[in-house]
Structure 1
């Protein structure tokens, strides 16, 4: 119990140290530049206290639960006994046996989808997008589209780690597709699609995805955690842009198809 309180105190002091510049900037601009009192000062101070304690518990949760779980799952799913692979028999040639790791890809897909659905920043963006568009953008539709993009990206990212293929190939191809989609996608969705790629790399998704990548690169023979373990977040930033624009393009195509069908029916009558 004593060790827990010592750890809590260390993280608490570190969090205050990190949050302090933000407090100085906000209060400094309000009092020195704008020269106005801070409205609802008591409420603001209570809010900062909640933020600090929330960050402390969140950081402790990452260290005590999320990071270990991600690494443990990666270790268990890549265990040669679980996969039925004899490393001596294949001479360490993991890349040619990438198909044996299908449970890893499925787990990565599920983690990518579930963490994105639970991402607070994405929920906030989806709600605001619905309000601004007057309900034209469905919050759940947007969240599911982004979640599918992240799920595919994390699954593909784990495939890259297993096969040892270069990261830049996937990223370059991904952005080429994004540029092409940008030309043809509805103009009203482009900015939102690009933002959707950014909000996925936030509080819930990043810790688990990072832990999964590092755990996977550590347990797969021949992989370097520094070279192969990172990069999954880059996947999670690119593919949601593609999926959101694809979702908008599909919706536009279906609407045009239904409109054409209705016009044809009316003409026949």
Structure 2
């Protein structure tokens, strides 16, 4: 465990230090930059490195095994309804917990002057992800080519983009992007790999991946539909 922590700490440090160095250089050359500001930046950077290390360790020893375990147990039930409900709930709840989604919802609520409420946007994004996670799990079980789902999904996006208010299109595509965050991605990937591990004739490479791409379609369609229905 300690060796894993050291390895993760080193990886996070290598990723963050160049950014911190660049910001420090800019602060040195910017006028009116106080020593307190630079010290706060250094302290904050250390906290970011430690926080990211602990978070990624938690993902590695907690979220990933849990996702694979759940994914491997779902198909054993033999109930399609249970599979759909479970896939939806975990996609929904993982998105609710995603920090990136909350940041986007906060910013949208602020700039829209409460025209688009934070809770409303979070729920729409989470429902979109949950729906497409369920669809992705069914795709694995029934061996549906992923190209068909991508084609149908993006055709729906194109059609909705033509009738949705112009302000909603950029929000929708950003909503699809923020779902690929540090909580949603590992859990959904682990879920897909877990499902393929117990189904005969399934390849973890060709069948276990692609869930994130499908899941990110859901929020785009959801936000565009919100624009069509509520505006």
Aligned equivalents of 1:25 and 1:176: distance in 2?
42
Selected match of 2:72 from 75, 84, 91:
75
1:38-73, Cα deviation, whole Å (9 max, x unpaired): 771111111111111111111111111111001111
Matched, 1:207 2:163: no
Q: TM-score, normalised by structure 1?
A: 0.81
1:36, distance to aligned residue in structure 2 (A): 7.0
Selected match of 1:169 from 138, 145, 148:
148
Gaps of 5+ in 2: none
Selected match of 1:222 from 192, 201, 204:
201
- Say which SS state the counterpart of residue 225 (structure 1) adopts: coil
Higher relative contact order (CA 8 A, sep 6+): 2
Aligned equivalents of 2:101 and 2:3: distance in 1?
34
RMSD over aligned Cα, in angstroms? 1.7
Across the two proteins, how many residue pairs are aligned to each other? 230
Tell whether the 8 Å contact from 1:149 to 1:240 is kept in structure 2 after alignment: yes
Aligned equivalents of 1:159 and 1:35: distance in 2?
58
Q: TM-score, normalised by structure 2?
A: 0.93
1:21, distance to aligned residue in structure 2 (A): 2.2
Matched, 1:56 2:35: no
Selected match of 2:92 from 101, 108, 113:
113
Q: Which residue does the alignment assign to 1:152?
A: 131
Gaps of 5+ in 1: 84-99, 253-269
Q: Rg bigger for which structure?
A: 1
Q: How does 1:1-40 map to 2 (within 5 A)?
A: 4-31=1-28, 37=33, 40=37
Aligned equivalents of 1:75 and 1:215: distance in 2?
4
Aligned equivalents of 1:207 and 1:193: distance in 2?
22
Tell whether the 8 Å contact from 2:164 to 2:228 is kept in structure 1 after alignment: yes
